[in-house]
Amino acid sequence: MNVTAKLLSVFQVDKQFRGLRSRLAAAERFLAEQNKVIEQLDAKKASLDAQVRQITATASNFEGEMKRLDARMATIREQMDSAQTNKEYKAFLTEVNTIKAERDRQETSALEHMGKVEDLKKQLDDIAKQRTEREKVQAVAVSDRDQRAAEIKDRLAELQTQREALAKELPKDTLLVFERLVQTRGDEAMAHIEEVDRKRHEYHCGSCMMALPIEAVNGLLVSGRLTRCASCQCILYISDELTKSMREPAGKR
C-alpha cells in the first residue's frame, strides 16, 4: 500500500470519527444553549432581587419617616390643648398642617415604591415559571447527550484504535502535513481526481476543479507518491475505479 493509499485510509477513518462526533456535538450544543438560557434567567433574577431589596429598604425609610411625623403631630396636638393664646394655637395648627402635608408626600412615595416592589415580584414569578420549563428542556437535553455519547462510545474507541494503527505506517512529516490540512479544510483535506478527457490528458481536482498536469496524475498512478493540488493544496488521490480503468490496456478499454 503506497503512502497516498495509507493517507486515504486514515482520512476515511477520520471522516467516520468526525461524523459520529458531529451528532454528539449537536446534542452538546443544544444542552449548552439551555444552560445559557438558565444562566441568563438566574442573572436576571439576581438583578430583580437586588432591586426588590433596595426599593423595599427605601419604602421602609419612607414609612419610618411617616411614623416620626405621626409622633411629632401627636406631640404638637398635645401642646395645642395647652395653648395659652390664640396666636400660639394657630402656630401649632400651622405646624401640624405642614407636617401633615409632608407625611402625605412620604406616604405617596412609600406606596409608589411598594407598587414597584409588587411589579418586580410578578416579574420574579414569571422568571421562576420560565426557569422551571427550561429545566425540563435541559433535562431532556442532558438525557439526549448522554444517550448519544453511550451509543457511539464503543465505535469511537474502535475508530481511534484503527486510526492509531494506520498512522504508525505513515512517515511523521507526511502525517503532520495531512493533519494540518484536516485542521484547516476538514473533509476537503483530500480530493479525488476527476477525469475529463483521457485522450487529451485532461484531469481536474475534485475539490477546486482546477486542471491538473498529466505528470502529477501519472506520478500518483504509478507510485502513489504524495501529490497536492497546486491550487487548493489538498492531497489528491485516484479512486479505485479510475485506477483500474487507467491501467487497463487500450484495446480492452
69-89 pLDDT, tens per residue?
999 999 999 999 888 899 999
* Of 98-107, 187-196, 242-251, minimum mean pLDDT range: 242-251
User: Do 23 and 100 lie in a common domain?
Assistant: yes
Indicate the residue among 167, 195, 224 that finishes a domain. Answer: 167
How many angstroms separate the Cα of 85 from the Cα of each of 72, 80, 99, 110, 163?
Answer: 21, 10, 21, 37, 108
136 pLDDT exceeds 60? Answer: yes
User: Do 154 and 179 lie in a common domain?
Assistant: no
106 pLDDT exceeds 50? Answer: yes
CB contact at 8 A, 135 and 38: yes
Indicate the residue among 112, 137, 167 that finishes a domain. Answer: 167
User: Do 71 and 177 lie in a common domain?
Assistant: no
User: Do 28 and 78 lie in a common domain?
Assistant: yes
pLDDT of residue 246: 84
Report the distance separating Cα 158 and Cα 181, nearest Å: 23
CB contact at 8 A, 131 and 39: no
Helices (H), the chain: 3-81, 86-167, 172-185, 214-223, 240-247
184-241 pLDDT, tens per residue?
998 899 999 999 998 899 999 999 999 999 999 998 988 888 999 999 999 999 998 9
CB contact at 8 A, 198 and 189: no
User: Do 29 and 144 lie in a common domain?
Assistant: yes
CATH number of the domain that residue 93 is part of? 1.10.287.1490
pLDDT of residue 253: 47
User: Do 190 and 109 lie in a common domain?
Assistant: no
User: Do 163 and 79 lie in a common domain?
Assistant: yes
User: Do 163 and 188 lie in a common domain?
Assistant: no
Q: Is the residue at 253 inside a domain? A: no
* Of 27-31, 44-48, 138-142, 220-224, minimum mean pLDDT range: 220-224
Residues of the domain holding 241: 173-247
Phi and psi dihedrals of 198, rounded to 5?
Answer: -65, -40
Indicate the residue among 145, 167, 189 that finishes a domain. Answer: 167
User: Do 160 and 177 lie in a common domain?
Assistant: no
CB contact at 8 A, 7 and 174: yes
User: Do 94 and 211 lie in a common domain?
Assistant: no
251 pLDDT exceeds 90? Answer: no
User: Do 23 and 141 lie in a common domain?
Assistant: yes
User: Do 153 and 179 lie in a common domain?
Assistant: no
Quickly state the pLDDT bin for 250 (edges 50, 70, 90): low
Q: Is the residue at 252 inside a domain? A: no
C-alpha grid cell, residue 98: 405642614
Number of domains in the chain: 2
